[in-house]
Structure 1
Amino acid sequence: METKLLVFSPKLLILLLFSFAAFPSPSSSRLAFNFYGASCPSAEFIVKNTVRSASSFDPTIPGKLLRLLFHDCMVEGCDASVLLQGNDTERSDPANASLGGFSVINSAKRVLEIFCPGTVSCADILALAARDAVEIVGGPMLQIPTGRRDGRASVASVVRFNIIDTSFSMDEMMKLFSSKGLSLDDLVILSGAHTIGSAHCSAFSDRFQADSKGTLTRIDTSLDKAYANELRKKCPSSVSSSVTVNNDPETSFLFDNQYYRNLMAHKGLFQSDSVLFSDKRTKKMVEDLANDQNSFFERWGQSFLKLTIIGVKSGDEGEIRQSCEVANG
Structure 2
Amino acid sequence: MAKTTLWLIFFNLSLLPCCFAALQHQFYKGKCGSFDVEDVVHDVVSKRCRNDPTTSAALLHMLFHDCFVHGCDASLLLDGEDSEKTAFPSLTVRGYDVIDEAKGAVEAVCPGVVSCADIVVLATRDSVSASGGGKYKVKTGRRDGQISVAKNVDLPPPFVSMQDAIARFAAKGLNVKDMVHLLGAHTVGVAHCSSFKDRLYNFTGTTKPDPAMNPLLLRSLKHQCPKNAKVDNTANLDQNLPSSTVIDNSYYQQILMNKGVIQFDQVLSSHPLTKPTVTALATAPAPDFYKIFGEAVAKMSDIEVLTDMEGEIRSSCRATNKPK
Taking structure 1 as the reference length, the TM-score comes to: 0.86
Alpha-carbon distance in structure 2 between the residues aligned to 1:90 and 1:148: 19
Return the match for 2:160 from 168, 175, 179. 168
Alpha-carbon distance in structure 2 between the residues aligned to 1:305 and 1:268: 25
- Shift of residue 47 of structure 1? 1.1
Amino acid at match of 2:302: I
Which residue of structure 1 aligns with residue 134 of structure 2?
140
Segment drifting more, 35-44 vs 314-323 = 35-44
Tell whether the 8 Å contact from 1:218 to 1:228 is kept in structure 2 after alignment: no
Amino acid at match of 2:211: T
Which residue of structure 1 aligns with residue 14 of structure 2?
none
- Is the aligned partner of 1:298 residue 2:291? yes
Alpha-carbon distance in structure 2 between the residues aligned to 1:119 and 1:70: 24
- Shift of residue 240 of structure 1? 4.1
Tell whether the 8 Å contact from 2:201 to 2:227 is kept in structure 1 after alignment: no
- Is the aligned partner of 1:103 residue 2:93? no
Alpha-carbon distance in structure 2 between the residues aligned to 1:295 and 1:60: 23
Tell whether the 8 Å contact from 1:120 to 1:320 is kept in structure 2 after alignment: yes
The secondary structure found in structure 2 opposite 1:105 is helix
Which residue of structure 1 aligns with residue 42 of structure 2?
48
Q: For residues 103 and 218 of structure 1, do their structure 2 counterparts lie closer, same or farther at Cα, with a shift above 3 Å needed? A: farther
Q: For residues 317 and 54 of structure 1, do their structure 2 counterparts lie closer, same or farther at Cα, with a shift above 3 Å needed? A: same
Which residue of structure 1 aligns with residue 196 of structure 2?
204
Alpha-carbon distance in structure 2 between the residues aligned to 1:242 and 1:94: 14
Structure 1: which 5+ residue stretches go unaligned?
1-27, 211-216
User: Highest Rg: 1 or 2?
Assistant: 2
Q: What are the Cα deviations for residues 164-196 of structure 1, in whole angstroms up to 9, with x where unaligned? A: 211011111101000000000001100111000
Q: For residues 39 and 242 of structure 1, do their structure 2 counterparts lie closer, same or farther at Cα, with a shift above 3 Å needed? A: farther
Amino acid at match of 2:247: F
Alignment of 1:12-91 (within 5 A): 30-40=22-32, 41-91=35-85
Alpha-carbon distance in structure 1 between the residues aligned to 2:250 and 2:209: 25
- Shift of residue 134 of structure 1? 0.8
- Shift of residue 320 of structure 1? 0.3
Alpha-carbon distance in structure 2 between the residues aligned to 1:233 and 1:38: 55
Return the match for 2:184 from 158, 178, 192. 192
Return the match for 2:228 from 215, 220, 238. 238
Which residue of structure 2 aligns with residue 227 of structure 1?
217
Which residue of structure 2 aligns with residue 327 of structure 1?
320
Q: What are the Cα deviations for residues 211-234 of structure 1, in whole angstroms up to 9, with x where unaligned? A: xxxxxx752111111111101101
Q: For residues 232 and 121 of structure 1, do their structure 2 counterparts lie closer, same or farther at Cα, with a shift above 3 Å needed? A: same
How many positions carry a matched residue from both structures?
296
Tell whether the 8 Å contact from 2:187 to 2:237 is kept in structure 1 after alignment: yes
Alignment of 1:106-125 (within 5 A): 106-125=100-119
Identity, % of aligned pairs?
A: 40
Tell whether the 8 Å contact from 2:200 to 2:221 is kept in structure 1 after alignment: no
The secondary structure found in structure 2 opposite 1:30 is coil
Alpha-carbon distance in structure 1 between the residues aligned to 2:178 and 2:236: 23
Structure 2: which 5+ residue stretches go unaligned?
1-19
Q: What are the Cα deviations for residues 40-68 of structure 1, in whole angstroms up to 9, with x where unaligned? A: 34211111111111122222111001100
- Is the aligned partner of 1:130 residue 2:120? no
Which residue of structure 2 aligns with residue 286 of structure 1?
278
Tell whether the 8 Å contact from 1:79 to 1:149 is kept in structure 2 after alignment: yes
Amino acid at match of 1:130: T
The secondary structure found in structure 2 opposite 1:142 is coil
Alpha-carbon distance in structure 2 between the residues aligned to 1:241 and 1:311: 37
Alpha-carbon distance in structure 2 between the residues aligned to 1:199 and 1:49: 29
Which residue of structure 2 aligns with residue 178 of structure 1?
170
Which residue of structure 2 aligns with residue 316 of structure 1?
309
Which residue of structure 2 aligns with residue 307 of structure 1?
300
Which residue of structure 1 aligns with residue 17 of structure 2?
none
The secondary structure found in structure 2 opposite 1:239 is coil
Which residue of structure 2 aligns with residue 214 of structure 1?
none
Tell whether the 8 Å contact from 2:49 to 2:131 is kept in structure 1 after alignment: no
Measured on the aligned residues, the alpha-carbon RMSD in Å equals 1.8
Q: What are the Cα deviations for residues 13-72 of structure 1, in whole angstroms up to 9, with x where unaligned? A: xxxxxxxxxxxxxxx970111111111342111111111111222221110011000000
